[in-house]
Amino acid sequence: MPELPDVTIYVEALERVAVGRRLEQVRIGSPFALRSVDPPIGEAAGRPVTGVRRLGKRVVLALEPDLFLVMHLMIAGRLRWRPRGAAVPRGRGLAALDFPSGTVLFTEEGKKHRAGLWLVRGAAGLAAHERGGLEPLEVSLADFGRALRRERHTLKRSLTDPTLFSGIGNAYSDEILHAARLSPLQLSTNLDDEEIARLHDAMRATLVHWTERLRAEAGDGFPEKVTAFREGMAVHGRYSQPCPVCGSPVQRIRYAENEVNYCAACQTGGRLLADRALSRLLREDWPRSIDELDTLRKSAEGLRPPPD
């Protein structure tokens, strides 16, 4: 899912190609894409774009005088800049936004039709898409601590809760927690002041680092390679690969369609966090530490037949 750094780069690219220009028309390519009916999407045609902003993980185009076009990319939604009038791709194409100098294609690589497009009127219409989370790069340490301690959740859940913090998802929460040297399953109400300060610093540093890196990669162009798995990430998407800090293999916990990636040596004092599916399968044989896991792996390798 595109998160704060990715959406920020999309916003900056759209500012370069759209602000001050007329949105000639919005072509809908999928019946699942348009999620609003009033005002009708046709009202967007011919209106100048006065601004582009990030609203959580959403991209918002402000249209003169009081309309807002809201795009939620969800997991697989992507934006691409193409020559004016480019066809909406079959199957994965959701919509096309035509400008005098080119077309923004809104696509979705998945098949679950989660990404969506809304046209809303006025501040009240836009407020319906606001989840209320604090901006990670603007929140003070004091407000950050109060938000964390408001409810008793794991740190992974707290960081990715859009009602607490805006724009953080599965990928960057893994990176933030690794940088802070904190367990993803640590409870938010159990942190001391030093740990909260460490997490606050890690959140800001991680998001700034990746925003600057993605900005440099995109340059003056439009971002084409938006993905949750990036070269240079410390733990996210790097299961079983060595931690860049200590060299221990990165661990993971899978749940539903998400996963938690972490380094046991750096974040949990060497303790392996129980994966629900594997815990049920292995029961009392579930390794409790990196050393136990290493012993099991070596035993398994000793039982393998020699290669031909």
The more confidently predicted of residues 22 and 221 is 22
pLDDT at 306 over 90: no
Residue 281 confidence class, pLDDT cut points 50, 70, 90: very low
Residue 262 · residue 184 · CB < 8 Å: yes
Q: Which of 282, 267, 111 is nearest to 176 (CA)?
A: 267
pLDDT tens for each residue of 248-259: 999 998 876 678
Residue 186 confidence class, pLDDT cut points 50, 70, 90: very high
Measured distance CA(76)–CA(98) in Å, rounded: 22
Residue 159 · residue 153 · CB < 8 Å: no
pLDDT tens for each residue of 43-83: 999 999 999 999 999 999 999 999 999 999 998 899 999 99
Residue 226 · residue 2 · CB < 8 Å: yes
pLDDT tens for each residue of 150-164: 989 999 999 999 999
Mind listing the domains of the chain with CATH numbers? 4-127 (3.20.190.10), 135-308 (1.10.8.50)
Residue 69 · residue 44 · CB < 8 Å: yes
pLDDT tens for each residue of 93-152: 999 999 999 999 999 987 788 999 999 999 999 999 999 999 999 999 999 999 999 989
Q: Which of 273, 307, 74 is nearest to 174 (CA)?
A: 273
Residue 229 confidence class, pLDDT cut points 50, 70, 90: confident
Residue 275 · residue 253 · CB < 8 Å: yes
